[in-house]
A and B are shown apart, each in its own frame.
Chain A
Amino acid sequence: MKVAITSTGNSLESTIDPRFGQCAYFFIYDIQNKAMEFIPNPNIDADQGAGPATVQFFASRNINKIISGEFGMKIKSLLDCLRIQMIVLKNPEKKIKEIIDMLNH
């Protein structure tokens, strides 16, 4: 089970990025083997189509869940088709570290 989190920075102290397509970093966490990975967002400067490009990126990496602050209408329908679960966390103060703790219960 792989989870993607949109992050503002590349450390565990960074907070969750409320934007989906234009976030600074993607954090990918594998719940089974606890593997962590920070990837800089390649589409950060894109004016348009950053969201769908991000969805494609996540789909190619077999992500099962995505945690972000908000998902646009286009993104929601795409992820629904791909059967990827969306989790909306409306708390911009949450750190990546805390989210990992929550995922591990």
Chain B
Amino acid sequence: MSPRIKVLRKVSNPPVIKGFKPYGQESGKKNSEIVNLLYEEYEAIRLSDYDMLNHHQASVMMGVSRPTFTRIYASALHKTAKAFVEGKQISIEGGKVYFDSEWYHCEKCVCYFNNPEKEKPVENCPLCNSERVDKFDYENTVESNTDTKHK
């Protein structure tokens, strides 16, 4: 029997770099094997240790259950620790993920938009410059998208 299909994990911030290389005399000498950190594992470390969320909040952000998140996180830590101790390269790629950013809604011109520059907070609508913008509930967007597809 084939294993159960994995749920797609949501990654809100794709990593800015493709990986890490060790330096020093012993780096990459023993074996040039690369540790492959999956996107979901990168995201787990980002949410949990960079954004300081607890596992429950982080699991909601990624759209998986809390135990699954903890498993992804444990695997991420194991891989990074392996790379640190053995002096191996880390490449961040692959994984069962999809990228999605947070959506905002403008009340004046009734449009939806996302914010690709995550560092800057959204204050004005990119279309009409109105200040009446609010964060859009992600779950509802998904539902409305699937609704229009069925029609």
A contact set with B: CB distance below 8 Å:
65, 67, 70, 73, 76-77, 79-81, 83-91, 99, 102-103, 105
Given A70-B145, A81-B99; A102-B109 close (CB under 8 Å): yes
Smallest beta-carbon distance A65→chain B, Å: 6
Tell me if A's interface is mostly helix, strand, loop or mixed. Answer: mixed
Please, which residue of chain A has its CB at the minimum distance from the CB of B129?
A105
Instruction: Give the size category of B's interface with A.
Output: 20 to 34
Please, which residue of chain A has its CB at the minimum distance from the CB of B13?
A80
Q: A80 is contacted by which of B100, B112, B148 (Cβ under 8 Å)?
A: B100
The answer to whether B126 has its CB under 8 Å from any CB of chain A is: yes
Q: List 17 A-B contacts (CB under 8 A).
A: A65-B126, A70-B148, A77-B99, A77-B100, A80-B100, A80-B101, A80-B114, A81-B99, A85-B114, A87-B111, A87-B112, A88-B111, A88-B113, A89-B109, A89-B110, A99-B127, A102-B127
Across the interface, do B110 and A87 meet the contact criterion of CB distance under 8 Å?
A: no
Q: B115 is contacted by which of A77, A85, A102, A105 (Cβ under 8 Å)?
A: A85
Within 8 A of A (CB), among B100-125: 100-101, 109-117
